[in-house]
Amino acid sequence: MYGLMRSLITHVGASSLVLLPLLVVVLVVVVAPLRESVASALRDPVERLETHVLENGLTVLTLEDHATPVVAFQMWVRAGSKDESFYTGIAHLFEHMMFKGSKNIGAEEHARLIGARGGRVNAFTTHDVTVYHEDVTSESLPLVIDLEAERVKNLDISLATLESEREVVLEERRMRIEDRPSGLAFEALSAITFQAHPYHWPVIGWRADIEAVTVEACREFFDTYYSANNITLAIVGDFDTSETLAAIERAFGDVRTAERIPRNPSRVVEQRGERRATVRHEVRVPLLYAAWHAPASGHADGDALDVTSQILSAGRSSRLYRELVYETEQALYAEGGYWELQDAGLFFAVAGIRPGVPIEQVEQAFFGEIDRIKTEGVSEAEVAKAKRQLEVSLVRGLSTAHALASRVGRESITLGRVRSLSERLESIQAVTAADVQRVVRTYLVRDKRNVVHVIPPSPPASPEPAPAADREDG
């Protein structure tokens, strides 16, 4: 589900060291499909997770594993685009500014110091959070801790830095959204789906806001959201917990605490009818995008929606791909998924229209496949296959320190706890064919549907001939 989301959130670029598995479980899953008994046979590393809170409110999640001399360090800041008020895009702007130097570290020096030691450093921003992450060998962990604390305490928020990164972000917006049909499509889809909630605007922000944001607004946002009681550190891998906590206390212990961290009070409002938008862009392949409101992360229907998305749109054997691409040859591709966010969710599907085929014809077949599940349901074989795919993906997420740190950081912030592997596997196993039909009937209904067409610009209208009385005689 998350692969397609890389183009929907703003992300500098995924990076992690190639690590040996912390658990040799992936092959077990590939060779033998997971059954209910398998969950109890696998030992979940999260069982060793420890939570620590400094006096200033900073939360530290530690999970020691000495299988490899590698540590994943992630700093999760609970500041995403949904926390913006006057200037959209400011959360993502800080993802860039955090690499432009501080009181004691020069511009780009943070990344250079990590890279010189064989590590990797990167960051990403979503609607809910901004995350800074490093994958390093264990002896470099003290340096990472000091570097992260330095930029949290002493970041250079100057007009020169703002102007420099403003131009970088504007160019990024042009390349990722304004010049890319899929970017324009999803921007329009989010805007008509989340009309009242801050998920309405793109993570990268509206161009006008990026151009207008001030240094004062940046400083206020940073002082509020980059405070100790709004940060969670997730550390997984080869380190000593007591030594690391002492280093974090020395480096982060004096980070400011915000007395008040405002959150946008908006909620998703009930949709009372289908919404549509048309985007005109120079495209050779018209696009059809559709989305429905879905539950937020952690909802009881989440696993059933995941199974549904696998059946409908995951891979070349999925229903939408098979019908639209293979059998009728109306589309070049079809894909989608269930996108979980902290405050709400989105079930979406996408098709690239084969040139010469009317987009309305593809849309009819597109929604026809979804409606067929409402009336006919799905087979037990489809459900079993979808569950195996989800189980393999879930267990594969245990194979690296980076993946584990991402899991504990994301779930601790989004859900307030980290779900165990057995809980997740049992929840997936519990999904039935009846559950799939039920969630399709509940969520993927016409009056809750949002549709975007990306099509070429209309041809210029031909000038009307002048009235006969006004023509010159030849």
* pTM of the full structure: 0.88
Strands 275-280 and 120-125: unpaired
Range list of β-strands (E), 115-220? 120-125, 130-137
What is the predicted pLDDT for the residue at 8?
Answer: 42
For 220-276, the pLDDT digits (tens) are 999 999 999 999 999 999 999 999 999 999 999 999 999 999 998 988 989 999 999
What is the distance between the alpha carbons of residues 52 and 20, in angstroms, rounded to a whole number?
Answer: 27
Which of these, 66, 124, 120, lies nearest to 95 by C-alpha position? Answer: 124
The structure tokens listed for 361 are: 């014809």
What is the predicted pLDDT for the residue at 468?
Answer: 58
Query: What is the sign of the dihedral through the CA atoms of 375, 379, 382 and 387?
Result: positive
Q: Which residues of the chain are in CATH 3.30.830.10 domains?
A: 10-34+46-252, 275-455
- Of the candidate CATH numbers 3.30.465.10, 3.30.830.10, 3.30.70.270, 3.40.50.300, the domain formed by 10-34+46-252 belongs to 3.30.830.10
User: Higher-confidence residue: 375 or 8?
Assistant: 375
What is the distance between the alpha carbons of residues 81 and 202, in angstroms, rounded to a whole number?
Answer: 8
Look up the CATH number of domain 275-455.
Answer: 3.30.830.10
Please check whether residue 292 is in contact with residue 349, taking contact to mean a CB–CB distance below 8 angstroms: no
> Which CA distances in Å does 198 have to 72, 95, 268, 316?
31, 19, 9, 34
What is the predicted pLDDT for the residue at 463?
Answer: 67
292 forms beta bridges with: 347, 449
Q: Which H helix or E strand runs over 345?
A: strand 345-353
Mean pLDDT of 18-23: 34
Residue 200 confidence class, pLDDT cut points 50, 70, 90:
very high
What is the predicted pLDDT for the residue at 41?
Answer: 53
For 294-338, the pLDDT digits (tens) are 999 999 999 999 999 999 998 899 999 999 999 999 999 999 999
Which of these, 338, 342, 321, lies nearest to 330 by C-alpha position? Answer: 321
331 forms beta bridges with: 353
What is the predicted pLDDT for the residue at 29?
Answer: 38
Which of these, 22, 6, 24, 237, lies nearest to 119 by C-alpha position? Answer: 237
Residue 450 confidence class, pLDDT cut points 50, 70, 90:
very high
Please check whether residue 50 is in contact with residue 244, taking contact to mean a CB–CB distance below 8 angstroms: no
What is the distance between the alpha carbons of residues 349 and 337, in angstroms, rounded to a whole number?
Answer: 7
Which of these, 342, 322, 301, 298, lies nearest to 199 by C-alpha position? Answer: 342
What is the distance between the alpha carbons of residues 214 and 157, in angstroms, rounded to a whole number?
Answer: 10
Model confidence at 370: pLDDT above 90 = yes
What is the distance between the alpha carbons of residues 51 and 151, in angstroms, rounded to a whole number?
Answer: 23
Residue 398 confidence class, pLDDT cut points 50, 70, 90:
confident
Residue 469 confidence class, pLDDT cut points 50, 70, 90:
low
At 225 the three-state DSSP class reads helix
Model confidence at 49: pLDDT above 70 = yes
Please check whether residue 51 is in contact with residue 59, taking contact to mean a CB–CB distance below 8 angstroms: yes
Q: What is the DSSP string of 266-310?
A: --PPPP-S-EEEEEE---SS-EEEEEEEEPPTT-TTHHHHHHHHH
Q: Is 42 exposed, middle or buried (0-12, 13-18, 19+ CB in 10 A)?
A: middle
What is the predicted pLDDT for the residue at 58?
Answer: 98
CA 179 to chain centre: 21
Helices (H), 176-214: 181-193, 207-212
Residue type, 35: R
What is the predicted pLDDT for the residue at 10?
Answer: 42
Cβ-proximal residues to 229 (8 Å cutoff; 6+ apart), any chain: 56, 57, 58, 257, 258, 261
What is the predicted pLDDT for the residue at 2?
Answer: 35
Residue type, 135: D
What is the predicted pLDDT for the residue at 4?
Answer: 38
353 forms beta bridges with: 331
At 170 the three-state DSSP class reads helix
For 137-173, the pLDDT digits (tens) are 999 999 999 999 999 999 999 999 999 999 999 999 9
